[in-house]
Structure 1
C-alpha cells in the first residue's frame, strides 16, 4: 500500500470519527435540554386597571379579599381578553352568602377612604359592558334581571346610598336599560321607610315592570345591549353630584343632584313614581333636610347582583323569587342565574379631606 493510500484512508477514518463525535455531542446536548411547556402568565386585574390600592374587594361569597393587587378568584374576579383588549371580570350569583346586611350577592370594590360631600372633590369613572343578568326572576319585581355597576354609599348613620347605577334587561329582549337611583337619607329613626327615586339614562327607569310574574314590558328602543360598552363619570364637589353617561351611538346624558339639601323633606315632595312603587309596601318616609351632610361617603364599583331568590311576598320591589339552586354557585352559572360585568377602564380621584373607611368594614365584614 502506498503512502498516499495510507494518508487517504487515515484522513477518511479521522473524518468519520469527528462526524460520529459531533453527532454524539448533538444527541447529548438535545438529551440534556428537553423542550418544556411554558405556562401562560396570569394577567391580574391590577395590571389592567392600576387603581386597586384604593379599594377592598368583596367577593360573591360574602368574603372580603382586601386589597386586590395581583389577585384573582376564578369564580368571581379575574381577567378576560375579548380578542382586542383585556377586561376585568366581576361575577356574582343570584344566591349565596352576602356581605353586611344586604339580601344580594356582590363582587364589588369598596373604597378604603370616605369623604364628606360638603368638602368633597372626588371623582370616579369607568368604561364597562354587562355580559349577563339573571335568566329568572318575577317580572313584577323592579330589581329582577338587574345589576348595579357603580355606587356612592354612606359609611355612617343608616348607610344609605345617594347613587346606584343600574343595568337591567329582560330575558328574550336584545336591549336593556341603564338608570340611576337616589336613595333618600331617611329622617327619624325608622330607616325601613326609605325609598329610591329612579332616573332613566337609556331605556326605562326602575319603575317599568311586567304586568304579571311572566310578562315583560316592551323592549326599550334606545336601550343598551349585553356586551355593548358604556361609560359613567361621577364627580362630587362641594356637595353637588354631577353624572355623565356616554356610549357610542347613544346620546350623552348628564344629571346634577344636591347632596346637602333635600328635595324630599315633606310628604308633598315625594315623586309620583315613588308613591306608586314604594307607598304600597309601607316605604313612605321623608328625608332629613340636610340630606347627606355630615356623613362620610365612599365609591363602589363592580357587580352588585340585584336579583335574589327571596319571595316577592317579602318585598315586591327587591325580592325577585329567582332560581338559586340552594346557593350552588356552579349550577347558577350553568343556567344563567348570575350577573357578570366586564370593566375595561376605571379611575378614581380622592380629595385631601378623605379619611379612613375602616369603620365601615369593621361593622359589615
Structure 2
C-alpha cells in the first residue's frame, strides 16, 4: 500500500512539473506577442510628427515613388527620430544610386500632388529643419559639391525648370555652412540647354563661392549655419509674386521677393556677372522668355535633394561633383559620410482652390 501511494505521489509531482512548464511556455509566448504588439504601437511615423502628407507623394532615394506617405517609413531613406527638441522626420539620400526623372542626383523628397499657376496662386509652404550631413567628398571647384536642396518650387510643364531651390552647403573641415536660394530661368524657345541659375545668399555665401583646387576650400563664412543648427523658411506665391522669408535663432531674418510672371533676364545685357562667370563658360548662356513662368503649373517640393553626385566634373563644372559613390553601395556611402541628411521638425502647406492635379508630372517622371 505504501509503495502504491509513493508511486501515485511521484506521478502527481511529475504532472505538476509538466503543467508548470506548459504554463511558463504559454506565459512566455503571450509576453512575446504582447511585446511585439507594443513595439508596433510605439512606431512614430512621419505623418504623426507632421500631419500634412495627404498633399504629397514621396520620392525615395532609390528613385521609387512611395505615394502618399501616411503611416509609412523606410529605414534607408525616410523615418523618424527624436532628440531633446522632440520628434523629427528624417530624409536621407546617398551620393550615388537610382534617381527620379532625368536628374543626375538622388533625392528623398516630397513632391506636391497638385500644381498651381503663379498668376492665380495663393499658395504657401513653411518648414523648420536642420541639416545633419552633406557629402564628405566632391570636387571643391564644382559649385554643387557638399550641398543639399531642402525646398523647391518646380514647374510641371514644358522644360520643367525650377523657379526656386533652397540650398544648404558646407565644405569639409568647416564648422559653418551657407544657406542660399536659386532662381532658374524658364528658357526662351524649345532648347533648354542654355538654362542657368542665379544664386542669392541668405546666411554665408552664395553658390558661386568655390575652391581654387579640387581639394582646397574657400574661407569659412562667418555668419553661416552649423550642421545641426535649426532654421526655417517660408515660401508664399500670390498673384505672380514669390515672397521668401528665412529665420534662425541668432541670425538676421532675411526676406526676398521675385516676380515669377515677368522676366528681368530677356537680354544678355541684363544677366549678372555671377551668371556669366559660372554658366557662360560651359555654354549655359540662354535668356528667359518674357513672361517667365506665366501659364505653367508649378508645385512645391520639400526634403533632401542631394546635390553631390559621382559624375565627372568634365561633364559639367557646376553640377557634376566627381564624389565617392562606392558604385551605388548604400551601406558604404552611409558609413563614410557620402550622403545628405535633413531633419524636419515642423512644416505646413496651404493649397489654393485654383490648384489642379499634378499626375501628369509623375506619369512622365516615375
Give the structure-2-normalised TM-score.
Answer: 0.91
Extract unaligned runs of 5+ from structure 1.
Answer: 1-23
Counterpart of 1:347?
348
Q: Shift of the alpha carbon at 1:33?
A: 3.9
Q: Shift of the alpha carbon at 1:223?
A: 0.2
How do residues 222-233 of structure 1 correspond to structure 2 at under 5 angstroms?
222-233=223-234
How do residues 69-218 of structure 1 correspond to structure 2 at under 5 angstroms?
69-218=70-219
Deviation string for 1:101-151 (max 9, x for gaps)? Answer: 000000000000000000000000000000000000000000000000000
Report SS of the residue matched to 2:332.
Answer: helix
How do residues 246-261 of structure 1 correspond to structure 2 at under 5 angstroms?
246-261=247-262
Residue 289 of structure 1 pairs with residue 290 of structure 2:
yes
Q: Shift of the alpha carbon at 1:82?
A: 1.2
Q: Shift of the alpha carbon at 1:28?
A: 9.8
Counterpart of 1:36?
31
How do residues 4-83 of structure 1 correspond to structure 2 at under 5 angstroms?
31=24, 33-34=27-28, 36-37=31-32, 38-39=35-36, 40=39, 41-83=42-84
* Inter-partner Cα distance in structure 2 for 1:241 and 1:351: 15
* Inter-partner Cα distance in structure 2 for 1:46 and 1:209: 38
Counterpart of 2:272?
271
* Inter-partner Cα distance in structure 2 for 1:289 and 1:330: 47
* Inter-partner Cα distance in structure 2 for 1:244 and 1:30: 64
* Inter-partner Cα distance in structure 1 for 2:155 and 2:342: 23
Counterpart of 1:280?
281
Q: Shift of the alpha carbon at 1:29?
A: 12
- Indicate the structure (1 or 2) with the bigger Cα radius of gyration: 1
Deviation string for 1:80-101 (max 9, x for gaps)? Answer: 0113311000000000000000
* Inter-partner Cα distance in structure 1 for 2:250 and 2:203: 11
Q: Shift of the alpha carbon at 1:297?
A: 0.1
* Inter-partner Cα distance in structure 1 for 2:205 and 2:85: 31
Q: Kindly report the root-mean-square deviation, in angstroms, between the aligned alpha carbons of the 2 structures.
A: 1.6
Q: How many residues align?
A: 342
* Inter-partner Cα distance in structure 2 for 1:36 and 1:167: 47
* Inter-partner Cα distance in structure 2 for 1:136 and 1:83: 30
Report SS of the residue matched to 1:221.
Answer: coil
Q: Shift of the alpha carbon at 1:158?
A: 0.2
Aligned CA distance change for structure 1 residues 28 and 60 (closer, same or farther; 3 Å): closer
* Inter-partner Cα distance in structure 2 for 1:111 and 1:197: 24
Report SS of the residue matched to 2:252.
Answer: coil
* Inter-partner Cα distance in structure 1 for 2:201 and 2:86: 29
Report SS of the residue matched to 2:294.
Answer: coil
Q: Shift of the alpha carbon at 1:190?
A: 1.4
Deviation string for 1:308-338 (max 9, x for gaps)? Answer: 0000000000000000000111110000000
* Inter-partner Cα distance in structure 2 for 1:269 and 1:121: 29
Counterpart of 2:313?
312
Deviation string for 1:154-196 (max 9, x for gaps)? Answer: 0001000000000000011100000000000000121000000
Counterpart of 1:262?
263
* Inter-partner Cα distance in structure 1 for 2:22 and 2:224: 64
Deviation string for 1:336-364 (max 9, x for gaps)? Answer: 00000000000000000000000000000
* Inter-partner Cα distance in structure 2 for 1:277 and 1:47: 43
